[in-house]
A and B are shown apart, each in its own frame.
Chain A
Amino acid sequence: MSDATNASPALLDVHDVSKAFGAVEVLRSVSLQVKRGEVVTVIGPSGSGKTTLLRCVNFLESYDSGSIRIDGKEVGYREAGTRRRRSERDLAAMRAETGMVFQSFNLFPHLTAAGNIMLGLTKVRGKSQTEARQIAEHWLGRVGLAHKADSLPAELSGGQQQRVGIARAVAMEPKILLLDEITSALDPELVGEVLAVVRSLAEDGMTMLMVTHEMAFARDASSRIVFMADGGVSAVGPPKEILAAETSNERLRTFLARFRASHF
């Protein structure tokens, strides 16, 4: 964990976060830092708490103890140590600073591609319709869907929908982008177009925390990989170190071996 001691302050600082659903501990004292411009991918077997961790960062899930700070500001609670939730208005404002892309896209089916992107821009960022439309068109262009601005989600393929989902999140200019298994619901031939978009955002310096099963992508695109097992961070490090076959971490070795067996 050499990066944690680095002098530059982390943009996202998850410190000692725990969470239980009833008797099941889904997060066990998780700590994790993401610096500005970093792409951190989270891997691990299903049920290891990856998605829950991601959902805690924008407070779609609450957590029982610990603290999560973005740019030094506590996310869901009024101050570290207390369990007093922020007001609805405060929470909404905090969430606007993080973008999220979902496994199942979650586009708004009653709005066009452009409309999906414009909603947050007009309601949350206070932009005019004209300005919001321009921004939406800009981002649709970036994800290669300029010609689909007026299509409804039902008229788009899965890969196209997910690219709109990404455009909707980044158009808000979030400090950090959270990506939750964004290619898991896609047909294999559509995965590439979505990952290409993520890669180009990474090249632009977008800070990202990404839960993924795409090992090749994690290897090539991330600054660091976090391996989670049983609700805890089991290993953190640069891709080369984490994905090395001869790692001494037994859980990780088993996970990678099983993964290789099923994917090659």
Chain B
Amino acid sequence: MGNLLQIKNGEVVERQRIPQVDFARFFRIMTDFVANNGYIVQFFAYAEEGRTKLMAVVRNSNLFIISTVVDSEFPSLTLTIGTKFHLFEREIAEQYGIRPAGHPWLKMVRYHANVTGKPDVFGNNYRVDIPGKYNYFQVQGESIHEVAVGPVHAGIIEPGHFRFLCSGEEVLHLEIQLGYQHRGIERMLTEVPQQRLPILCEAIAGDTAIGHNLCCCQAIEALACITIDRGASTVRTIALELERIANHLGDLGALSGDVAFHPPAAYFGRMRGEFLNLLLVLCGNRFGKSLIRPGGVSQVMTGEQRDIIKNKIKELRPEIEHVCNLLFSAHTVLARFEYTGTVGRKMADELGMVGYCGRASGLEYDVREFFPTECYADLPANTNKVTNGDVYSRAMVRQEEIMHALTLIEMLLAKEEEPHRRVSLAAHQLAPDSFVVTLNEGWRGEVSHCLLTDSEGKIARYKVKDPSFHNWTGLAMALRNQEISDFPLCNKSFNLSYCGFDL
């Protein structure tokens, strides 16, 4: 794999060290890499010296980067190499007006004009903001009907449009159109003062405030050569795990609510609140906003807080076990969960799914284990046992991860108290002409931020990737040949982010 440069998670690379090859070679390297169990972490376009370049961050058990120069068109990698590239290429086409020629499904991602001012690849003029303006897939036949759901839904959930092509109750295909919450975050991140970066990153996806912010802060620390206190690392790890527990508990509750098994829904809902309150104890915000800041954490974790968390976990662990038992031992629930919305290992692998969705299908990828940050190198990894790729597996992975996360927090709290100082927001001088990519296992999966700085150390390109970006297509695939009435259950078992995708 000649020209790939191996890097570490959160390692600063000078831009001139990034290997740059011509497109034909890039194409060959990518073909080889993906064929040998390689996955895409980031694949995006950026401008350099008046030219447009493509940067690929890829992984197998290591991280690699490579870049290439493209003109207004390049032969689609999706077409020849595989589906892993498809959404990335569509994003490149939308953001920089470059056409991946021969892309099998070239459709806009978020409905916005490109940054280069080139003619739009999709032929839209964007005078009116209508993300769903597009000719959806059609299936024809006598008993075929379409059901359009959203973008405004019943209940308080985010906007997204779902188009079901059905034959009676059976879904032949589900087409998902997002983009209704596009806020232009990537662009904003390059324009605002540096102190605002963590605050903006906390708002990329409200339920992953810690995951996204952690990526951002680690990137800034790397670029500004800041090392953080060991104690601050512990607090960050605990916060990330608390976020994971709270969200997984909420999801298990929602899953039982969706099959009309209400008692666990109520219990899990209450326990989710308890864990959010632990984040409140840590930093004063139930979603952990304002906790992580470049250089460390904004609040010092004292012995009192350690005790509160320790005692709460001791109190809640048996309760969680009990309610999980109630949920997973009800045969009516299992009848709904098992064999519903199955994504097989092969399909998950082709799509490059990440997080619990990927692990439920048997893809053993966990950033905490592969590219550990903070305290994860010293902590044991989790292995999930149920890998059938159905709703049941996705629910079981959550249960296992909750138990695992509880153990991790207990291990971290069992250590001696480590002194750490509190930091406040400040602007740091970033290394000029550099590149950094940070990865963390947010509760949904691999969260990744890429930063490129210019010759003055200003951020020239900021690329954000939420795990949902990999997994939305998985949901569409899970629905094939399922009953349309099982969609809410499948959707909840994936529980993907709309705003994290829309950016």
Instruction: Specify whether A and B are partners.
Output: no
- Give A residues with C-beta under 8 Å from B: none
